[in-house]
Structure 1
Amino acid sequence: MLKLKVPKMTCGHCASTVTTAIKTVDDDANVEIDLTQQQVTIESNTDAAALSAVLVEAGYPNEPA
Structure 2
Amino acid sequence: MHEFQLPDMTCGHCAGMVSQTLQMTDLESKVQVDMAKRTVTVQSTEDRATFAEALTEAGYPPA
TM-score by length of 1: 0.93
Residues 2-46 of structure 1 show CA distances to partners (whole Å, capped at 9, x for unaligned) of 010000001110000001101111011000000010000000011
* Distance in 2 of aligned mates of 1:43 and 1:55: 15
Q: Which residue of 2 aligns with 1:20?
A: 20
Structure 2, unmatched stretches of 5+, are: none
Runs of 4+ in 1 over 3 A off after TM superposition: none
Structure 1, unmatched stretches of 5+, are: none
- For residue 17 of structure 1, what is the amino acid of its counterpart? M
- For residue 58 of structure 1, what is the amino acid of its counterpart? A
TM-score by length of 2: 0.96
